[in-house]
Structure 1
């Protein structure tokens, strides 16, 4: 009896094993390369983004002026000084009892930008008025921080550029300015020292 041998077809390929037959064999080389490429791109992206974000941070000279301390001991009642904070002028004024009384006597509802003197000063330190020395109309520096300067008809500040007039509490009373002089963030460190910023 002759045995019948099956001849192998030279064009027949071995069966392809798909991903469904890969389970349990662990990560393949291709998976490792994909993960490594994504990780490398992520590190490269972070290396590019950090300098871009860092250049938007304030410079060292601006950070140095982030807060200033002002000595109040030499400022007499009825007078004041102008200091620089964040490259902007700031008025520090020691109000007299008469100026405080005058500011408190103004009906708040009659003001363009209603604010009480108490809201613009710190409790226990109502004689110290600290405001930005920038007119809220177009940014000129008002007069009136020293007794010899023009203080306008309300006894506070007078802007020589367009005639805005502020009272003793730095509140707008006449002229084109829409808002009161801005009160910056500040805190008292002692009875004779205040930190602005």
Structure 2
């Protein structure tokens, strides 16, 4: 307690000489606080020391600091020119950005082309995707087998009686209902894939209960139009995509 009293007594004595010349006594204002602000009006400007520093032009300049804020800044531009803010280097920046985007777009395009080329079939595979067949070598009432995409394809040159029998069959009683006229382009030539729709066996031509095709593996019987009539096969023999290029020439695929 004694120490605190001593410090409280010494602080006013030490601070009084420092404020003696600039702050008048409180009793002189008779309790009027507004007069205290008038005591400082006579000091209109404080003395500010001169400061020396270097600018970006590496030139030493002397500036007098002012207590009044200002937006006017003077630069030493004797050795260079100063452009307006935001305009310097714009053409070059635009060129770099445009060039970069063009390079990115070209790289993306090249990558897409490479991916599509790897997914597409090779030239030799595309050549095997279609097969041209000359029908003039097939005798009436006979069946020939050609190979297309690794699959056997039956081409039957049907007689007039076979065409009439296929058209007269009752399609309502079949598993896979389909008319004969919808399975051929030219009724004389029937083109079907020679793979049984049950388990992928190869049927025998000119056999079975309907004189069409017979699968000895599980006993599926197909008629002269390749439609399933008896046995476990669920669907008719498939008709591949083909077209006529001449009266007796077709391209399968």
The corresponding residue for 2:120 is: 57
- Residue-pair matches, total: 180
1:33 Cα deviation from its structure 2 partner: 2.5
Cα RMSD of the aligned pairs, angstroms, is 2.9
Q: What's the CA shift for 1:128? A: 0.7
The 5 A counterparts of 1:60-99 are 60-99=123-162
Distance 2:162 2:149 in 1: 29
| Cα distance in 1, alignment partners of residues 146 and 227 from structure 2 | 20
Q: Measured at CA, do residues 191 and 49 of structure 1 come closer, stay the same or move farther in structure 2, by a change above 3 Å?
A: closer
Counterpart in 2 of 1:128? Answer: 189
Unmatched segments (≥5 aa) in structure 1 = 1-5
Is residue 208 of structure 2 the alignment partner of residue 152 of structure 1?
yes
TM-score by length of 1: 0.78
Q: Which residue of 2 aligns with 1:175?
A: 231
* 2:64 is the alignment partner of 1:7: yes
- SS of corresponding position for 2:119: coil
Going by fraction, where is helix more abundant, 1 or 2? 2
Give the secondary structure class of the aligned counterpart of 1:64.
helix
**Structure 2 stretches lacking a partner, 5+ long:** 1-62, 74-83
Q: Tell me the residue number matched to 2:203.
A: 142
Measured after TM superposition, the shift of residue 138 of structure 1 is: 2.3
Q: Which has the higher contact order (CA 8 A, sep 6+)?
A: 1
Q: Which runs of 4+ in 1 moved over 6 A?
A: none
Whose radius of gyration is greater, 1 or 2?
A: 2
Q: Return 127-136 or 182-191, whichever deviates more.
A: 182-191
